[in-house]
Amino acid sequence: MNKYDVIISPVLTEKSYDGIANKKYTFKVATCATKTQIKVAVEDIFGVKVEKVNTANYDGKIKRMGRNEGRTAAYKKAIVQLKEDSKPIEFFDSLA
């Protein structure tokens, strides 16, 4: 798996903005990605040092269209904590 396949997109919510000051960044990642793969991908792509990675799996929400019922896609979210001596990720600097 390519490092760019591991990280899908950043999660930009109010709760994720609060973590930016503490060097905690939230990403949507591939559902089959491990914590080690996520750590290596973030370090290679952004050039930072990762202290720890927390992950959470989310099921898709049930949605209805008339009588028919279906689910949105399931996804995995990773919260990445950077080391104190690491530089921040530039992408998130303009958002905080």
CB 82 within 8 A of CB 50: yes
Q: Look at residue 1 in the predicted model and tell me its pLDDT.
A: 83
- Encode pLDDT of 41-90 as tens digits: 999 999 999 999 999 999 999 999 999 999 999 999 999 999 999 999 98
94 — pLDDT class (breaks 50, 70, 90)? confident
54 beta partners: 79
Q: For residue 40, give the nearest of 14, 74, 69, 1 by alpha carbon.
A: 1
Q: What does the DSSP 8-state code read for residue 33?
A: -
Q: Which residue has the tokens 């990720």?
A: 89
- Encode pLDDT of 1-56 as tens digits: 899 999 999 999 999 999 999 999 999 999 999 999 999 999 999 999 999 999 99
